[in-house]
Amino acid sequence: MAHVMNIGRILSIAILSFTIGCGVGVQAWAKQLTPPIQVLVTYHSLSGHTEQMAEAVVEGVKSVPGTTVMMKRVGDVTADDLFSCDALIVGSPVYWSNMSGEVKTFFDNWQFKFGVFPEFKMRNKVGAAFATGGQISGGKETTLLTILAAMLGNQMIVVSGGGAFGASATTEGDSPGIDKKELADAKALGQRVAEVAKLIHRAPSQ
C-alpha cells in the first residue's frame, strides 16, 4: 500500500510540474506572439537642441517594457514608418511662433506623398509633440498646439506629458542650452506616450 501511495505522490508531482511548465511555456509563447508597441520619434533640428530633446523622448519610450522606438529626422520618414507605428511623437524648433517649415512639409506629405488622407490611415494612433525655442515666451505653446492640431485633423489620439501640451525647452538665457528638468520632461513625455499606446492597443508587459 505504501508503495502504491509513493507512486501516486510521484505521479502527482510529475503532473503538477508538467502543468506549471506548460503554463510558463504558454506565457512565454504568448509574449513572443504579441508584437511590441512601436513608437516613432521624428524631429527637425539645426542647432541640435531639438535633437537633444528627441533623444530624451526616446529614452522615456525605452523605459516602458514591451515597446520599440525609432528616431528619425522628418525628412527621412517614410510612409511605412508612419503606418507601422502605434504612436508618433513630433518635435520642432520654434520658427516665428510656429513649427518649422520642414515639420510643416512633413505633415503636408501625409496627404500629398504618403496618402494618409482621405482614408485617415493614422486614425487612433497616439500622437504627442515637443518643441524648443530661444525665449521663455517665444511661441513654444503655439508650436506644440499646431503639431497637435495636425494630428487631431487626422483623427489621432493626442496626449500631453512633461507639460500641459507636451515637452518644451528654452535654449537661450542665463544658462543657454537644455537643462536637466527640460530633459526630464522630454523623457516623461516619451514614457507617457508609450504607456498610453499600450493601454489602447492592449499589449501585455514583456
Helix H, strand E, coil C: the string for 148-188 is: HHHHHHCCCEECCCCCCCCEEEECCCCCCCCCHHHHHHHHH
pLDDT (mean) for 4-24? 52
Kindly tell me the burial class for residue 182, based on how many C-beta atoms sit within 10 Å of its own C-beta (0-12, 13-18, 19 or more).
buried
* pLDDT greater than 80 at residue 15: no
pLDDT for 137 equals 80
Q: In this model, does residue 21 exceed pLDDT 70?
A: no
Is the pLDDT score of 199 beyond 60?
A: yes
pLDDT of residue 24: 47
Residue boundaries of the structural domains of the chain: 1-33, 36-201
Q: What percent of the chain has pLDDT over 70?
A: 80
User: What residues contact residue 72 under an 8 Å CB cut-off, 6+ apart?
Assistant: 40, 41, 42, 81
Greater confidence, 202 or 28? 202
Higher-scoring residue by pLDDT: 1, 162 = 162
Rounded mean pLDDT, 165-191 = 90
DSSP label of 95: B
Cα–Cα distance for residue pair 198/201, rounded to 1 Å = 5
Residue 103: band (very low, low, confident or very high) from pLDDT cuts 50, 70, 90? very high
* Higher per-residue pLDDT: 16 or 121: 121
- Per residue in 75-93, pLDDT (tens digit) is 999 999 999 999 999 999 9
Name the more confident of 172 and 157.
157
Say yes or no to pLDDT of 195 above 50: yes
DSSP 119: T
CATH topology of domain 36-201: Rossmann fold (3.40.50)
> What is the per-residue pLDDT for 135?
86
SS3 state at 129:
strand
> Per-residue pLDDT averaged across 180-204, rounded?
91
Cell numbers for 71? 528616431
